[in-house]
Chains A and B, each alone.
Chain A
C-alpha cells in the first residue's frame, strides 16, 4: 500500500514531503550510513521519532527507542500510555505517521508485516492470538511458517522436501515445547487450555521461529504473582538459551525491575524516562506517572 514510504529507497518521496526539513536532513544523514556498517553495531532495533495518532487521539509522540543486541528491554507505563501501540508499530500492524523503525540497521516505514518473521522478529499479543482449532504442537510448529518453501501440491503428494520441511518444523517445535515444559499438552487443542498455559504456548510459537528479536506484549497480564515470576524466568532462560533480544511490555513495574536490563517509560504517548532499573526507580517523573500526579506540561502538548 504505502510501500513507497520505504525510507531508504524512496528518497524522492521523502523530498516531496516537506514538513520539517531539518529533521529530514538529520534523518537522511543517519540513513546514509545504513548500507555500510550499522550506525551502532550493538543496536538490534532502533525507533526514530515515531508519531502515531488515531483520528485526533495521539497514541505516540516523537518516541525514540534503542535496543541493544541480547538485552531484555522493557517498556512500561500506565494504561493507555501507548505501550501496545509501540509494539504494533515495530511489528508493522500500525503504520506510524512519522518516524521509522530500523531493524538490524535497515530502516523501514512502515515495517512490512508479511516479512517480519523473515527479518527475525517474532511477537506475542496482549490478547491471546493462538489458533484455537490447532493442537499445541501445530500452533508452535506454525511459528515456522515463514521458513516453508514447499507448495501445496508437493505437500499433498508428500514429496521428500515437503516431508522434510514438516518434520523439521515439528522437531523444532517439540524442542521449544519441551523447553517451556508444555510437553504434556502437545496434542491438546490450544483453545481448550487454561489462560496461563495459552500465554506460554504463544511464547513457544514465537520462540519456534528462532527470532533475533522477540516482542512480548504484556506476557504476564492477568497472571498470579507466582505465574508472573515463572514466566519471567522463562523469558530470561529463553534469552540465554536462544541468544535473542527481548522487548517486553509490562504493566507490573515490580516484575520488570528484576527482569530487564534497561527500561523505557511511556506516559501519554511520550517517553518520559529511559535507563537502568535503578535509574528508573528513582526518577521523579516515573513516580509521578505511576502515582497519578499530573505531569508538568509546560508546552501543553500530549494531553
Chain B
C-alpha cells in the first residue's frame, strides 16, 4: 500500500542505506586489517572527527539555514566538558562523559543561537563569532577547565566503552568510527523527519513557515542545540581520539572556517557532503605536500606548503561557490548517473 512505502520516507533512502552499509562494512571489516598506523593517525582519525563536525554544522547551516562561525568553540566546549566530567565525576563511564559533553555544547549552542531569533545571514554569522572568542577566552582564562595544568595542555583519558578498551591507532579508529556512525545515522533520521523538513521550511521561507504553523523560534533553537551537540561530540573525538591532548588553541577560528569549508565544498544540506568535504580537506594537504616535495624538492618547505594550501583551498571554495554550489555531492551524483547511463547503454 502506498502509505507503507511513504513511511520509509525519503525517495533516495534505499541507495543511501545500501551505500552507507557497504562503506561501513569496509570501514569495520577491511580497513582495520590493512591500514597502516599513519593512515589511522594522520588521515582517518582527523577525517572522522571533522566529518562529524561537518554533519553537525550542516544541520544548522545546510538544513536550517543559520550561518555559524562558532563551530570550533562548540568543539572546544565538548572536549573540555568531556575531560572535566571524566575527571570530576566518579565512576561515570566514558560514554556518559561524551553524552554530557554533547549536552553542554548544545546548551552553549542554544545560548549563542538566541541572536538568530532576530538576526539573519551575515549579521548572525558575525554574532556567532562571539561564541568563538568567548569560549576560547574562558577556557584559557579559568584554569579550572584544564585542571590548573601549567601549560593549559592536558592529556586525554584512555578510551573505553562497556569494559572494552580502545588502545592504539586501530582501537581509537574503531571507537571514533562507531561514534560517528551512530550519530550520523541519528542525524540522518532527524533530517528526514518532520523536524528536518521544518528546518528546511524555516531556511527557505521563514514567513511562510510561521504562517503554516511551524514553531520558528523553537525550530531555530533546536537546530542550534542539535548541531552543537554533534559538533561537541566531534570535539571530544578530535581531542580524545585524534590529538590525545586537550588544548584551547586547537579550537581556534581557523578550525571554525575549516568546518564551514567542509560543508560548502562537500555540499550544503547533505549528510554525505560532510564526509566528502572532510575527505578533501584532510587528504588534500597531504597530497599537496607529497606532490610539492616531489616536484620542487627542498624549496617546498612547511611555510610554502602552508601558504599553497591556503591559496588552493581558497580557490577551491570560490570555484565551488561559482560552478557547483551543491558541492562535491552533486558532482558525485552526476558522475554516478552518467556511469549508470553508460552501463545501461553498453
Contacts and interface: CB of A to CB of B under 8 A. Distances in A.
Q: Judge: A and B partners, yes or no.
A: yes
Interface centre among B186, B197, B200, B207 (most CB of A within 10 A): B197
A132 interface: yes
Given A156-B189, A209-B212, A133 B203 contact: yes
A162 to B, nearest CB: 7
A246 B193 CA distance: 32
Given A131-B205, A171-B3, A155 B189 contact: yes
Contacts of B143: none
Chain A contact-residue range equals 35 or more
Contacts of B3: 167, 170-171
Nearest to A152: B195
Interface in B280-338: none
A170 B10 CA distance: 12
Contacts of A91: 211
Contacts of A157: 189
A169 B213 CA distance: 14
Interface string B36-80: 000000000000000000000000000000000000000000000
B211 A113 contact: yes
Contacts of A146: 212-213
B204 interface: yes
B181 interface: no
A124 to B, nearest CB: 9
A114 to B, nearest CB: 6
Contacts of B92: none
A158 interface: yes
A152 B204 CA distance: 20
Contacts of A166: 7, 9, 193-194
Interface size class of B (residues with CB under 8 A): 20 to 34
Nearest to A155: B193
Contacts of B213: 114-118, 145-148, 209
Interface string A209-233: 1000000000000000000000000
B226 A152 contact: yes
Contact of A187 (B11, B190, B204): B11
A155 B194 contact: yes
B197 A134 contact: yes
Interface in A156-204: 156-158, 162-163, 165-167, 169-171, 174, 187
A162 B190 CA distance: 12
Given A156-B189, A163-B7, A134 B204 contact: yes
Interface in A73-97: 91, 93
Contacts of A130: 204-205, 208
Contact of B208 (A131, A147, A155, A156): A131
Contacts of B189: 155-158
B7 A167 contact: yes
A52 interface: no
A31 interface: no
Closest 10 CB pairs of A and B: A146-B213, A117-B213, A155-B193, A129-B208, A131-B204, A152-B195, A156-B189, A145-B214, A145-B213, A129-B205
Interface of A: 91, 93, 113-118, 122-123, 125, 129-135, 138, 141-143, 145-148, 150-152, 155-158, 162-163, 165-167, 169-171, 174, 187, 205, 209
Given A130-B204, A131-B200, A142-B209, 16 more contacts: A91-B211, A93-B211, A117-B211, A131-B205, A131-B208, A134-B197, A134-B204, A145-B201, A146-B213, A151-B195, A152-B195, A155-B193, A156-B193, A165-B194, A166-B7, A167-B7
Interface of B: 2-3, 6-7, 9, 11, 186, 189-190, 193-195, 197-198, 200-201, 203-205, 207-216, 222, 226, 269
30 contacts: A91-B211, A113-B210, A114-B215, A114-B216, A116-B211, A117-B211, A118-B213, A122-B211, A125-B208, A129-B205, A130-B204, A131-B201, A134-B197, A134-B204, A138-B197, A145-B213, A147-B213, A152-B190, A152-B193, A152-B226, A155-B189, A155-B194, A156-B189, A156-B193, A158-B189, A163-B7, A167-B7, A174-B2, A174-B6, A209-B213
